[in-house]
Amino acid sequence: MRLKSKIFLAGSVLIIILLFTPKIINASGYSLSIYPTIIKIKTNPPATVKAGIRIKNLSDNPVELGYVLKPFVASEKSSGQVKYLLYSDYTSKNTNFLQGVRILENDQTISKIILSPKQEKNLTIVIDIPREEESIDRYFSLVFLAQNQDKPDSSYSRIVQGIGTNVLISINPQGHKAKIKDFSTSPFVSGGPVKFNVKVENIERNFINADGYIIINNIFGQTVGKVNLGPRNILAKSAVKMSSKENNDVIWTENFLLGSYKAKLYVNYDNYPTLSEETRFIAIPAKPIIILTIAGFIIIFIKNRSKSC
Amino acid sequence: MKITSSYFRIVLALILIIIAFIILINRTLAQSASNNSYIIQGGEIEQKTFTNPDDSSTESFDKSSDKTTNIYFGENYQVTAGFEEIEDNQPFSFSVSNTLIDYGLLTPTNPVSRTTDLIISKGSSRGYSVFAFANRQLSDVNNNSIPDTTCDNGTCSETSSAQWSGNLSFGFGYRCENSDSSGCTGDFLKADYFKQFANDSKPKQYQAIINSFDSGKAKIEYKVNISNNQAKSSYSNSITFIAIPNL
């Protein structure tokens, strides 16, 4: 009897603990990777374009992914960012075009993907472009979305994680034409590094890939510096601030500068003739000059004092 | 007269030193030479072999650097995967530390703050952006909702930030803090500056909350504060973060 009551008591305590222990929710996050970071397509329809995409679950939990296609235009910030169209701004042409985009896994069209921990899958994006498709560029992001389905009793925000890659498509690409919209720097500098503003505008209807470099010559015509520009994709009828290969700004890192300099920018795009433009700046190292001048006056003063003594 | 002549000599010496500086300090790059008509650019000479466009789904190969340029050809099309001049083909990755933000039981004039870490590895991209938006305001099953914050002075929105530190300013908002060089937008440089999430149901333009060239980590702080008039209930919404490489 005593044993039975002990078992009953232990059972009751266990039930109470189970009832009142907060529900455990697996709210740990996801980690995903995608490759490539951009897909650029040039086509003369009719075509069924195929391109490979790798997506990997880097976390220790399985994840179910859906995907969406989000059309975009170039951001007004000219920084290489995209600007997504609002659903209300979609045209029937946008919608019809996106209906021709499918994702395949093992040659089967899918709407969802399940990735085990650390699993990587090779997918194929297939874009059907009919012969009568309008000869313009189409840009969209393919975004994979993961979300937690747990539902706590209290107030909460469910986090949806999205990772994507950009797809640029030129349909019946014509000629490409670009121009240097801005190449400038401060006309007077007291020393390096020198920051250049470089903006390239694509004035045609198809995206281009631009890169280039800046050669800096001193007052004697000697080449004293070179800055390589990283590649940028410039969407149709838009302008982009170029950046160096190493960071987001175009910077000549030379520190000691003196005199007049000429900087010449060369921009290449899609195997077209190189564009070029020049700018000049004058470097006056005010601090060293002031120090040298003061030192000169001190020497004169000491010399005169010693002679008068 | 003596003073003038010694002064003149010192000034002359200084000018000579400066000229010597100009000539000696500037290095000449042997890799390039130019005049008004031409420029010869040295360095690695790339030798590219492109495949016959008739061969479907083949890959071009850069012989000089052993780098795959990922150019594919199919019937009536050409695909370039990745940035041509970036040699490695590292994937772009995005991690979110938690997928559910539990605010617990909300009580009037007691602000609740929660955080999420976002970690982005740029891989072989040239920078990236993280866009954020909410599907709706924090709402309950009866369509009662907690409004998006307008901050202490009533001016913050999804596009502009403002200070939100008072317990009598109500609503729901967020701020982005750099854990390292992650590139949270300049809206959050000052402490206690918050914004609203863009509301996808209105619809509002998605806002980039991070724009960076380098891999990094950011902390998103969510804040919710309700007034005495707010109905006691459980409120919820979805917040989407989309990480996307820049062009």
In angstroms, the first-to-last Cα distance of chain B is: 69
Q: In which element (H, E) is residue A71 found?
A: strand A63-74
Residues B188 and B161: beta-carbon distance below 8 Å: yes
Which one-letter DSSP state was computed for residue B180?
S
Residue in B31, B76, B103 nearest the CB of A44: B76
Q: Do A29 and B116 touch (CB under 8 A)?
A: yes
All residues of chain B having their beta carbon less than 8 Å from the beta carbon of residue A146 are 99
Structure tokens at A27: 């709210």
Measured distance CA(A165)–CA(A142) in Å, rounded: 6
Least CB–CB distance from B76: residue in A47, A162, A259? A47
Chain B partners within 8 Å of A38 (Cβ): 81-83, 125, 245, 247
How many Å apart are CA B25 and CA B22, to the nearest integer? 6
Across the interface, do B116 and A159 touch by the CB < 8 Å criterion?
A: yes
Listed by number, the residues of chain B in 177-236 with a beta carbon closer than 8 Å to a beta carbon of chain A are 203-206, 208, 211, 213-214, 222, 224, 233-236
Subunit contact B100:A88, Cβ cutoff 8 A: no
Q: Do B244 and A141 touch (CB under 8 A)?
A: yes
Confidence of residue A4 (pLDDT cuts 50, 70, 90): low
Taking the CA of residue B176 and the nearest CA in chain A, the distance in Å comes to 15
Share of chain B residues as helix, strand and coil, in percent rounded to the nearest 5:
10, 40, 50
Contact between A168 and B110 under an 8 Å Cβ cutoff? The reply is no
Residue B30 pLDDT > 50: no
Q: Which of B86, B104, B237 shows the shortest C-beta gap to A154?
A: B104
What are residue A57's phi and psi, to 5 degrees? -90, 110
A109 beta partners = A104
- Residue located via tokens 């701004």: A89
> Which residue has better confidence, A298 or A308?
A298
CB contact (8 A) between residue A224 and residue B27: yes
In the structure encoding, which two tokens stand for residue A148, read together?
């937690």
Average pLDDT over residues B43-62: 36
Whether residue B42 is predicted with pLDDT greater than 80 in this model: the reply is: no
> By the 8 A CB rule, do B195 and B220 touch?
no
Domain ranges in chain B are: 44-80, 93-245
Is residue A71 a contact partner of residue A98, using CB atoms and an 8 Å limit? Answer: yes
Could you give the CA distance from residue B132 to residue B154 in angstroms, rounded to a whole number? 22
Cα of B82 to nearest chain A Cα, Å: 5
One of 2.60.40, 3.40.50, 2.40.50, 3.30.70 is the CATH number of B93-245, namely 2.60.40
Of the pLDDT bands very low, low, confident and very high (cuts 50, 70, 90), residue A69 is: very high
Report which of residues B45 and A244 the model is more confident about: A244
As a whole number of angstroms, the distance between CA B88 and CA A202 comes to 27
State whether B84 and A36 contact (CB < 8 Å): no
CB contact under 8 A, A46 and B126: no
Residue A181 CB burial class (10 angstroms; 0-12, 13-18, ≥19): middle
Closest-CA distance, A4 to chain B, in angstroms, reads: 40
| ipTM, 2 dp | 0.83
- Residue spans of alpha helices (H) in chain B: 2-25
Same CATH topology for A27-149+159-171 and A178-286: the answer is yes
Instruction: Answer yes or no: is pLDDT of B208 > 80.
Output: yes
| Tokens describing residue A267 | 């921009």
| Whole-number pLDDT of residue A224 | 95
Q: A27-149+159-171 domain in CATH 2.60.40.10?
A: yes
Question: Coil, helix or strand for B171?
Answer: strand
Query: CA-to-CA distance for B32 and A225, rounded, in angstroms?
Result: 10
Distance from CA of B212 to the nearest CA of A (A): 8
CA distance A16 to chain B (A): 22
Q: What is the DSSP-derived secondary structure letter of residue A244?
A: B
Nearest to A223 among B34, B103, B125 (CB): B34
Model pLDDT for residues B148-172, shown as the tens digit of each residue: 999 999 999 999 999 999 999 999 9
Mutate to test the interface with A, among B2, B17, B25, B79 (most CBs of A within 10 A): B79
Kindly report the average pLDDT of chain A as a whole number.
88
A223 contacts B32? CB cut-off 8 A:
yes
- Look at A17 and B72; give whichever has higher pLDDT: B72
User: In B87-170, at which residue ranges do the beta strands (DSSP E only) sit?
Assistant: 92-96, 100-104, 112-121, 128-134, 138-139, 145-146, 162-163
Span A90-148, pLDDT tens digits: 877 788 899 999 999 999 999 999 999 999 999 999 999 999 999 999 999 999 999 87
Query: What's the number of CA atoms in the CB half-sphere (13 Å) around residue B22?
Result: 19
Confidence band for A60, pLDDT divided at 50, 70 and 90: very high
What is the structure's pLDDT at A27?
Answer: 61
Yes or no: say if A68 and A145 are a contact pair by the CB < 8 Å rule: yes
What is the predicted pLDDT for the residue at A256? 86
Shortest distance, CA A57 to any CA of chain B (angstroms): 10
> What would the mean pLDDT of B229-233 be, rounded to a whole number?
93
The amino acid occupying position A169 is I
pLDDT surpassing 60 at residue B183: yes
- Residue A163 above 80 pLDDT? yes
Q: Is the pLDDT of residue A250 over 80?
A: yes
Helix ranges restricted to H, chain A: 2-20, 92-99, 286-308
For residues B90 and B93, give the distance between their C-alpha atoms in angstroms, rounded to a whole number: 9
The reply to whether CATH 2.60.40.10 applies to domain A178-286 is yes
- Res. A50: pLDDT tops 80: yes
B91 neighbourhood in chain A, CB within 8 Å: 33-35, 37, 54, 56
- Domain segments of chain A as ranges: 27-149+159-171, 178-286
For helices A286-308 and B2-25, give the axis angle rounded to 10 degrees. 150
